[in-house]
């Protein structure tokens, strides 16, 4: 207990399906890093003094993360309805809980930073590119395009969040860092699910690759443009920005896609 299970990216695909698509696995995974935390961080963790500019930049960044997490919450809950089997629905149900938690801790963090109306602030500060990404993801879910929607959500959106959160956590204040590191652990599981699901489908139905390539060509520019909106605010210098994009692209390329 208390230990995260072995790296799911290295797990045998069959074992993955049997173990990871369950609340048993999910509970074992999350209790290791959420037990004893309040809204995703150690309750008595001391706040770092941020000046007004730093606080304002952090609020904008967290509002954008909240846009992404809202998209993931809406996307994963919609995907439960079109998932091809019960095992897959079970995994997605655990993901809905994770994404709801992510949104909750981000809203709570905004409130900690003095934001009174998080709903309005998220709407005001959300990057138009990210808002557009959310709309496209929900369109794919609504059109019941299973492979394309799982790709958009569990590979592209998750890879985007994974790359940005991980980099941001390195230089963030201690409370934000703990919140982000907890979210990242869940996102790894979600990406693992996307790779497992699509990996099998790409082998059995090669035409799926062409469809996913189309989705990628449409969504990559939105991802990369939304990076531009947050990179400066999370403290990345101009020289470091290409590495963030590469880190995202590497995650997508694990499925055998090249840009």
Q: What are phi and psi of 143, to 5 degrees?
A: -85, 5
For position 159 contacting Fe ion by CB under 5 A, the verdict is: no
Alpha helices in the chain (DSSP H): 13-20, 23-34, 52-82, 86-112, 118-125, 128-142, 146-150, 158-171, 174-204, 207-230, 241-253
Asked whether position 122 contacts Fe ion by CB under 5 A, the answer is no
Nearer to Fe ion, 99 or 121 (CB): 99
The Cα 137–Cα 134 span in angstroms is: 5
CB 25 within 8 A of CB 5: yes
Q: How far apart are CA 170 and CA 138, in angstroms?
A: 31
Do 16 and 196 touch, CB atoms closer than 8 A? yes
Q: Residue 41: beta bridge partners?
A: 38
User: Is there binding between residue 188 and Fe ion (CB under 5 A)?
Assistant: no
Part in contact with Fe ion (CB under 5 A); list of ranges 128-136, 166-174, 186-194, 211-219: 186-194
Based on CB atoms, which residue is closest to Fe ion, 32 or 50? 32
- CA 1, distance to chain mean position in Å, is 25
Residue pair 99/183 in contact (Cβ under 8 Å)? The answer is: no
> Minimum distance between the CB of residue 161 and Fe ion, rounded to whole angstroms?
6
Check residue 109 for interaction with Fe ion (CB under 5 A): no
Residue 121 is a binding residue for Fe ion (CB under 5 A): no
Tell me if 190 contacts Fe ion by CB under 5 A.
Answer: yes
Question: Rule CB under 5 A: is residue 41 a binding residue for Fe ion?
Answer: no
Q: Note whether 96 binds Fe ion by CB under 5 A.
A: no
CA 113 to each of CA 128, 135, 178, 228: distance values in angstroms, whole numbers, following the listed order: 23, 28, 15, 24
Among 8, 67, 72, 150, binds Fe ion (CB under 5 A): 72
User: Per CB under 5 A, does 155 bind Fe ion?
Assistant: no
| Contact between 187 and Fe ion per CB under 5 A | yes
Give the whole-angstrom CA distance, residue 188 versus residue 159. 9
Closest C-alpha among 14, 138, 24 to residue 70: 138
* Residue 102 interacting with Fe ion (CB under 5 A): yes
| Binding piece for Fe ion, criterion CB under 5 A, among 17-25, 64-72, 171-179, 228-236 | 64-72
Stretch that binds Fe ion, among 56-64, 80-88, 101-109, 238-246 (CB under 5 A): 101-109
The whole-angstrom separation of Cα 181 and Cα 169 is 7
**Minimum CB–partner distance for residue 30 and Fe ion (Å):** 13
Q: Is 21 in the site for Fe ion (CB under 5 A)?
A: no
Q: How many residues bind Fe ion (CB under 5 A)?
A: 6
Stretch that binds Fe ion, among 92-100, 107-115, 126-134, 144-152 (CB under 5 A): 92-100
Residue (114 or 165) nearer to Fe ion, CB? 165
Report 213-252 residues binding Fe ion (CB under 5 A).
none
By CB under 5 A, name the binding residues for Fe ion.
Answer: 69, 72, 99, 102, 187, 190
């Amino acid at each position: 207990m208390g230990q995260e299970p072995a790296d799911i990216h290295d797990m045998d695909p069959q074992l993955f399906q049997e173990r990871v698509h369950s609340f048993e696995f999910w509970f074992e995974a999350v209790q290791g890093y959420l037990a004893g935390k309040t809204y995703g961080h150690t309750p008595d963790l001391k706040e770092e003094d941020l000046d007004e500019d730093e606080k304002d930049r952090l609020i904008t960044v967290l509002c954008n993360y909240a846009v992404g997490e809202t998209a993931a919450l809406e996307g994963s809950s919609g995907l439960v309805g079109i998932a091809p089997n019960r095992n897959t629905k079970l995994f997605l149900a655990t993901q809905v809980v994770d994404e709801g938690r992510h949104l909750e801790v981000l809203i709570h963090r905004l409130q900690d930073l003095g934001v009174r109306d998080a709903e309005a602030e998220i709407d005001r500060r959300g990057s138009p590119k990210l808002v557009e990404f959310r709309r496209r993801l929900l369109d794919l879910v609504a059109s019941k395009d299973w492979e394309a929607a799982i790709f958009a959500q569990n590979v592209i959106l998750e890879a985007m969040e994974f790359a940005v959160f991980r980099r941001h956590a390195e230089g963030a204040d201690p409370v934000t860092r703990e919140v982000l590191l907890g979210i990242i652990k869940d996102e790894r599981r979600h990406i693992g699910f996307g790779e497992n699901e699509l990996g099998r489908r790409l082998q059995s139905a090669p035409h799926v690759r062409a469809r996913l390539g189309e989705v990628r060509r449409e969504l990559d520019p939105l991802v990369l443009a939304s990076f531009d909106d947050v990179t400066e605010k999370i403290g990345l210098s101009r020289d470091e920005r290409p590495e963030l994009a590469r880190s995202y692209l590497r995650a997508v390329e694990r499925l055998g896609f090249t840009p």
